[in-house]
Structure 1
Amino acid sequence: MPDIKQIIAIGDIHGCAESSKTLLTKLNDQYGNDPVYVFVGDYIDRGPDSKKAVEDLIHFDEDHRCIFLRGNHDQMLLDAYEKNEWDLWLSNGGNTTLANYNSGPGKFDLPESHYDFFKDTILYWETEDFFFVHGGILPDLTIKENLESDYERSQFLWQRDHVYSRRNHWEKTVVFGHTPVREPIVEENMIGIDTGCVYQEEGFGILTAVVLPEMKFIQQESKDF
């Protein structure tokens, strides 16, 4: 993707359509379609309107440069839809998404454009200075070593070891979501931006974006609950 001067990464949306729409409007008003917008995954589940959240992202992609990463919840949806593997998804909030689509297990009325959206999400995206992934990568290995390991790549959607160690061997800054925190994580070589928009506990309920390379955080308090 040529001519990347600015990147805006957006944290886990989890079906919080109104919060997402408000934040994207705010970002568009300030930055327009010049930056690359990187969404770190988990667009669905637990929040009130996953279908609308996805529909809004599809429309946003029409006139913005977007990268949509795959989250573990997005993978669970695909596993249910493509492989009829329902149990894991249903135990992790998939029932809320099915309700948004007026569907149920085994009878998932997923529009083709939405299926294409999920199917086209990618595991990671990187630039010279940043590596974007949903969950994270093993901190004891370099980024190159993580990518070379089939097992570690399989953990990119779920990895949390880096959050608890805060030490790593990475060659560049890793930007991730997946693990909800009350304040964005800003440590050496790591930025965590899942501030639990879908959760109503004190300190959460915020959707976070970070503008890079300036490291400017822009947040939206939940409008969905």
Structure 2
Amino acid sequence: MHIDQRHEKGPFDIVGDVHGCLDELKELLHRLGYMVQGQSFINPRGRKLIFLGDLGDRGPHCLASIRLVMEMVHRNYALYVPGNHCNKLYRYLLGRNVQVKYGMEKTVEELTALNNIEREIFSREFISFYEHAPLYLILDNGNLVTVHAGIKENMIGQVNKRITSFCLYGDTTGEVTPEGLPVRRDWAKHYRGHALIVYGHTPVEQPIFKNNTIDIDTGCAMGGKLTALRYPEKELVQVAARDVYYIRSGSKEAELVAKI
């Protein structure tokens, strides 16, 4: 799919990083008014979902979460842009050398539990799904852009290696934190574009509009919430995590667990 989908005008329900939280995703879909249809969900009022990537890793149902989103995209009930965890899984399934950490252990564990035929089918389907996914989406006559980690206004409409890295990982400095995570600049602080940019990637306690951007990753897998933004209404719909599935190294939660 091409990045320029201006003809898609919505209305949309944009969902932040799922990270294997299937139960919370289904609850959120019900709350948004979607109904079960076979192995998928459909909105009787014609709304369409947009997933911002990072479908697996960290949560308890990684493969099932990925399969549900793939099914909805194939049925044209949803749109999808990949996240950095999606990119890592793609490279892993191609046989590339990737580090299985930061929550990817959960997805690999589920893959290992499949038999050879099931694993081959899933791998083939996800590789194709990823390769056909747009890096980001320009929607509603250019008034809306959805992307995993962010994008600057002068990047919109282009794709190259630098923009790909920005969309998947954010505005990285090349440095890493003590726990091994990349240091990122707050690109949204300088955004002045007219398009609303909806993104995820960096967990926040609560989504806040900043210069016509909004981060809706509220860390569901880490015990936060799974968040959707209704567009064009700009209304937030959230469900609370049912558990803490993943504790990130160096976080306050990790420090607390270490003391127990």
Q: Normalised by the size of structure 2, how large is the TM-score?
A: 0.72
**2:197 equivalent to 1:174:** yes
State, as a whole percentage, how many aligned pairs show the same letter: 25
Per-residue deviation, residues 147-179 of structure 1 (Å, max 9, x unmatched): 365423332100045646522132311110000
Amino acid at match of 2:132: D
The residue number in structure 2 matching 1:66 is 78
**2:45 equivalent to 1:37:** no
Amino acid at match of 2:109: A
The residue number in structure 2 matching 1:17 is 22
Amino acid at match of 1:173: L
**2:157 equivalent to 1:155:** no
Amino acid at match of 1:7: F
Distance 1:45 1:212, change over 3 A: same
Contact 1:143 1:170 in 2 (8 A): no
Distance 1:34 1:165, change over 3 A: closer
Structure 1: tracts of 5 or more residues without a match: none
Return the index of the structure with the highest Cα Rg. Answer: 2
1-structure distance, mates of 2:201, 2:8: 29
2-structure distance, mates of 1:5, 1:84: 37
Distance 1:220 1:132, change over 3 A: same
Amino acid at match of 1:35: R
Say which of 93, 96, 106 aligns to 1:96: 106
The residue number in structure 2 matching 1:198 is 221
Contact 1:21 1:56 in 2 (8 A): no
2-structure distance, mates of 1:84, 1:20: 30
Say which of 210, 216, 225 aligns to 2:229: 210
The residue number in structure 2 matching 1:219 is 238
Distance 1:142 1:220, change over 3 A: same
The residue number in structure 1 matching 2:59 is 47
Q: Normalised by the size of structure 1, how large is the TM-score?
A: 0.83
**2:152 equivalent to 1:134:** no
Distance 1:45 1:33, change over 3 A: farther
Amino acid at match of 1:85: N
1-structure distance, mates of 2:205, 2:128: 33
Question: Shift in Å at residue 70 of structure 1?
Answer: 0.4
Distance 1:3 1:168, change over 3 A: closer
2-structure distance, mates of 1:62, 1:26: 22
| C-alpha RMSD of the superposition | 2.6
Contact 2:220 2:240 in 1 (8 A): yes
Distance 1:9 1:67, change over 3 A: same
Secondary structure of the residue aligned to 2:169 is coil
Secondary structure of the residue aligned to 1:60 is helix
Contact 1:136 1:174 in 2 (8 A): yes
Distance 1:22 1:60, change over 3 A: farther
Structure 2: tracts of 5 or more residues without a match: 36-42, 172-183, 245-260
Amino acid at match of 1:151: R
1-structure distance, mates of 2:150, 2:126: 25
2-structure distance, mates of 1:142, 1:32: 37
1-structure distance, mates of 2:231, 2:206: 17
